[in-house]
Amino acid sequence: MRQQELIRAALEGKATFVIKNANVVNVFTNEILRADVALYHDVIVGVGKYSCENEYDAGGAYLTPGFIDAHVHIESSMVIPSSFMKVIMPFGTTTIIADPHEIANVCGVPGFRAMYKLTDDLPLRVLFMMPSCVPATPFERSGAKLVAEDMEQFLHKSRVLGLGEVMDYVSVVGAEQEMLDKLRLFDGKPIDGHAPLLSGNALNAYRAAGPATDHECSNFDEIMEKLRAGMRVMIRIGSAANDMQEILRRVVKEKLPTENLMFCTDDKHIEDIRREGHINCNARLAVQCGMPPVEAVKMASWNAARAYNIRQLGAIAPGYKADMALFEDLEEFRVKQVFTRFGAPYDPAAPLPTPILPPQVFESVHIRPVTTAMLELRCREEAPVIQMIEHQLMTRLARRKVPRDAEGRFTPGDGLVKLAVVERHHATGGMAVGILEGLGIRNGAVASTVAHDSHNLVVAGDNDRDMLTAIESLHECGGGYCVVSRGVVLSRLPLPIAGLMTDAPVDSVLEIQRALLEAAHFLGAKQDSDPLIALSFLALPVIPEARLTDRGLFDVTKMRFVPYE
């Protein structure tokens, strides 16, 4: 569209589409104004009094900028981008900032290309951050590695905004050359951080290096320190990390300015999205905690657009794009209609491009045979244990007396199960076994090839037979999730695309997910927990305090491996 056309359309009040009788949320003045909004194709040309042949009557509902998920991994939904879009757009999310480091850790550059191509022509606006840490750390084996030279070819892609979450903060503060090359490559562009509990001079060094956001804050004091250091903070409400109420209440109580706060989901299962909503769920919770509704709207839209230098998004005003959401209210944020980047109402029944996937993203599970002997863990009477924390991604590293047999081998019991991580990309035979507390399962095992961020095969169980059955089951189907009991696979979700995703219909995926959860709860997992999501984070050695990788038990706070003997 030529600029002259837009100028003429705005000057003459000429519109191709008009949203009539809306309560328009103005993010610049914090006002709610009754008005019509005029579009010329996919651009807003006026807010006031307009009419044209193609109109939509808002009937006094609240029109906001389309909501933005500031940090999300599409792969964690376990479905391809077009299916993910169908789940989130009905809740008012029109833009996502995706970091495809999950598939990049498995498939490298072909994985990133596949995600970019799959999102080309969707009504959902999909923007990208280039995965920065593939692998996340040197303490695990991933399927691929990305260095600065690999990233340079994507630097000028129109939908690549900057550098994705820099999880390896040790390499940053240690000024390691490989990390510095990546930071320099994206100098002047947005760089996402990932620095749970990083504080003091280490945080100062990290911020000075370039990372300017963080989505891992777990308490108000941490948020304050990072805001004072000039970072923008994301309030994350996902499936495994959703305990944000107290933080939001403190934000309101302390009258903290919110312009540097925004919302994200990071990892939220489609079942939870359908039940609770997407970014509108974050906004709803903020209002419930006392946040003024317009402030919540700005955190869901305008603040993210500013943080990522996304011009023409996040506001309803002349020159801004047509991405908007119409809500029945600004408390529950019930959606009446969504308007897409194409300048038209979102139609969930509209045909979408047929996804074409490269062969490199299939057949990604390559493991050496695992035996019972390989699952043995010899340890001292008092051994290190990974303790799960309810509704949090963080864990504790504790030492406690553990049950053992006469030969000093750990035997699951007393609330403790065996945890194993098996290298699954190159059939190296790399594998480690540890002890886990808090999963709650008995007489069975759960396993997954979704194991952030290197996505090796992770399995937990109270007996070796079921653990071996689970490993073989996922090897056979090309990756996914499974629950096993007494030698029988109770439920399995195949994820043949990189061992992370499927192109199966969403309803089919949800049906199997529910069966997986029911099976896990049948084995004793707590009803208010999702042990499958929890399992998928137990191998990520950048979140305190303890993780298990295919190389061994890792103390994240001290950045070192912990021996069992």
3-state secondary structure 206-260: HHHHCCCEECCCCCHHHHHHHHHCCCEEEEECCCCCCCCHHHHHHHHHCCCCCCC
Closest CA to 454 of 171, 103, 85: 103
Strands 191-193, 382-388: pairing kind: unpaired
pLDDT of residue 491: 97
Structural domain for 80, as ranges:
66-313
377 with 253, same domain?
no
- Return the CATH number at 242: 3.20.20.140
User: Is 19 inside any structural domain?
Assistant: no
pLDDT of residue 182: 97
Domain tally, the chain: 2
291 with 369, same domain?
no
Examine the fold and report which residue of 313, 348, 370 is the final residue of a domain before the chain moves on: 313
296 with 406, same domain?
no
Residue 151, amino acid: M
User: Is 140 inside any structural domain?
Assistant: yes
User: Is 99 inside any structural domain?
Assistant: yes
User: Is 71 inside any structural domain?
Assistant: yes
129 with 216, same domain?
yes
Closest CA to 79 of 248, 270, 321, 267: 270
C-beta atoms surrounding 361 within 10 Å: 21
d(CA 523, CA 397) in angstroms, rounded, equals: 25
375 with 306, same domain?
no
371 with 261, same domain?
no
Q: In 305-455, where do the E strands start and end?
A: 324-327, 335-339, 382-388, 395-401, 416-422, 431-437, 445-448
pLDDT of residue 241: 60
3-state secondary structure 464-485: HHHHHHHHHHHHHHCCEEEEEE
Contact between 62 and 22 under an 8 Å Cβ cutoff? The reply is yes
Examine the fold and report which residue of 313, 338, 353 is the final residue of a domain before the chain moves on: 313
Examine the fold and report which residue of 292, 313, 334 is the final residue of a domain before the chain moves on: 313
- Token pair, residue 137, equals 């750390």
User: Is 384 inside any structural domain?
Assistant: yes
User: Is 450 inside any structural domain?
Assistant: yes
420 with 557, same domain?
yes
283 with 376, same domain?
no
100 with 233, same domain?
yes
Long-range pairs for 114-117: beta carbons < 8 A, 24 or more residues apart: 114/357, 114/358, 114/360, 114/361, 115/74, 115/75, 115/81, 116/154, 116/157, 116/159, 117/356
Specify the DSSP element, H or E, that contains 300: none
d(CA 52, CA 49) in angstroms, rounded, equals: 11
Residue 216, amino acid: E
Distance of CA 127 to the CA centre of its chain: 14
User: Is 400 inside any structural domain?
Assistant: yes
d(CA 454, CA 293) in angstroms, rounded, equals: 39
- Token pair, residue 285, equals 């919770």
What does the DSSP assignment read for 323-348?
Answer: -EEEES-SSS--EEEEE-TTSSB--T
- Terminal-residue alpha carbon distance, the chain: 68
488 with 381, same domain?
yes
User: Is 328 inside any structural domain?
Assistant: no
Closest CA to 222 of 192, 199, 188: 199
520 with 419, same domain?
yes
Please report, in tens digits, the pLDDT of each residue of the chain (565 residues total). Answer: 688 999 999 999 999 999 999 999 999 999 999 999 999 999 999 999 999 999 999 999 999 999 999 999 999 999 999 999 999 999 999 999 999 999 999 999 999 999 999 999 999 999 999 999 998 888 899 999 999 999 999 999 999 999 999 998 889 999 999 999 999 999 999 999 999 889 999 999 999 999 999 999 989 999 999 999 999 999 999 876 667 899 999 999 999 999 999 999 998 889 899 999 999 999 999 999 999 999 999 999 999 999 999 999 999 999 999 999 999 999 999 999 999 999 999 999 999 888 788 888 999 999 999 999 999 999 999 999 999 998 788 899 999 999 999 999 999 999 999 999 999 999 999 999 999 999 999 999 999 999 998 999 999 999 999 999 999 999 999 999 999 999 999 999 999 999 999 999 999 999 999 999 999 999 999 887 788 888 999 999 988 899 999 999 999 999 899 999 7
Closest CA to 129 of 157, 88, 87, 170: 157
202 with 297, same domain?
yes
d(CA 565, CA 548) in angstroms, rounded, equals: 16
